[in-house]
Amino acid sequence: VAMSRDEIGLAFNWKYGPASREISHPSYQSLTRAFSGQGLKPLSPVHVRAARAGADLQITWVRRTRLGGDSWEAEEVPLGEDIEAYEVDILDAGSVRRTLASNAPAVLYGEAEQIADWGSVQSQYDVAVYQLSAVYGRGEAALATLGT
């Protein structure tokens, strides 16, 4: 059933039953459901890595796609979104200390930011990396513990 982006979250009345019967036949059942747009949710990035540049931490990852990503011929999978955008949460026991934004599959967690967040540069960080969708918002998280 084709649906527009504007119909995400709206409740629709559905009827289902045997194709050999009229829709008014008592064997047909009714239900009300809202389309959540789950199929539009970006997949989690993969291969989250970190490298130090001095005391700065360069965090990188590889994006995935929901659309047209099965070919081995392309160097990168198609974006599959209106824009390329990510958020990286720096976590402290599951709570967000800082969110970094990027429009590429990399972000810099600077020394000054680390000191502001923790009091000093740490040897290890827990992160959650999300690809963003204009339709859905944050996709699935790629969770990683990054040590340097």
Per residue in 23-75, pLDDT (tens digit) is 999 999 999 999 888 888 899 999 999 999 999 999 999 999 877 666 667 67
Q: Model-level pTM?
A: 0.79
Domain range list for the chain: 5-36, 41-147
Over residues 77-131, the pLDDT tens digits come to 777 787 899 999 999 999 999 999 999 999 999 999 999 999 999 999 999 999 9
CA dihedral over 47, 122, 51, 42, signed as positive or negative: positive
The CATH homologous superfamily to which domain 41-147 belongs is Immunoglobulins (2.60.40.10)
Kindly report the three-state secondary structure assignment for every residue of 46-115: EEEEEEEECCEEEEEEECCCCCCCCCCCCCCCCCCCCCCCEEEEEEECCEEEEEEEECCCEEEECHHHHH
pLDDT at 1: 74
Q: Helix or strand or coil: residue 142? A: strand
